[in-house]
Amino acid sequence: MENLTNIMIENYENYLSFLNGKLSNFFERQREYIKCKKGCALCCKNAEFPYSLLEFKYLLTGFMNLDKEKQDIIERQLERVAEAKKNFKGQKFLYDCPFLIDDVCSLYEYRGIVCRTFGLLSQKKGEYDTAKVPFCVHKGLNYSMVLDEKTNKLSPEKYKALGFREEPLGFNIHYEFLTDEAFEKKFNFKFGEKRPLIDWFL
Ligand code: SF4
Ligand code: SF4
């Protein structure tokens, strides 16, 4: 497989800096609702993890910098997941990310775009009915304090009662939007084909 050129890496990293700036701002604005912390890794489990070719190659550049012990752990985990996928007969194969070691991402700086959005609320401002909450809301984590258990939707009354400084706000953080060709043109790189992360190893 062709390696990433330095210029491609530089351009993609410029995009990541831009994206990280935006996402940090969103997380900061919503910090009263966010319970993410090191060692909480439910969002790295039981999912598909869409990755473009570029994100996959970038992840591999990080892998090459890991020590041998971590590489071996990841390789064993990758083999297990790939084998399970090959034997899977259903519609949608869900798995724990093979790059997770002791509930910590081993390639945090190199993680994909979808990984960077875990935990945020995705919605149009004020449209509580259409809010897409992170799944961990149901585990007592992000946004759970403003979830109306009866309707299973976020409650504006609850956030007001809590005296939080800002309402639960969603942002356009859909994977398809964040990997749109408008960003490719602006930062001069190509995402390439997109697949579930594990499929790049099959
Ligand atoms: S790459 Fe890292 S952040 Fe992304 S799913 Fe895997 S372990 Fe989690
Ligand atoms: S998004 Fe949810 S599951 Fe993931 S680290 Fe944050 S609180 Fe934990």
Residues 52, 13 share a domain: yes
Name the helix (H) or strand (E) containing 135.
none
Residues 102, 163 share a domain: no
- Does the beta carbon of 95 sit less than 6 angstroms from any atom of ligand 2? no
Residues 158, 142 share a domain: yes
Q: What percent of the chain has pLDDT over 90?
A: 79
pTM of the model: 0.93
Residue 75 lies in a domain: yes
**Domain span holding position 84:** 6-120+173-201
**Is the Cβ–Cβ distance between 158 and 146 less than 8 Å?**
yes
How many domains, the chain? 2
Ligand nearest to the CA of 103: 1
* Binding pocket residue ranges, ligand 1, CB within 6 Å: 44, 49, 97, 99-100, 105, 107, 111-112, 115
**Is the Cβ–Cβ distance between 66 and 74 less than 8 Å?**
yes
Name the helix (H) or strand (E) containing 165.
none
Nearest residue (CA) to ligand 2, atom 6: 36
pLDDT over threshold 60, residue 165: yes
pLDDT over threshold 90, residue 105: yes
Residues 6+ apart with CB under 8 A from 158: 145, 146, 147, 148
| Shortest-distance atom of ligand 1 to CA 59 | 1
Please list the residues that pair with 90 across neighbouring strands. Answer: none
Residues 155, 106 share a domain: no
Angle between helices 53-64 and 6-29 (to 10 degrees): 100
Residue 1 lies in a domain: no
Confidence of residue 25 (pLDDT cuts 50, 70, 90): very high
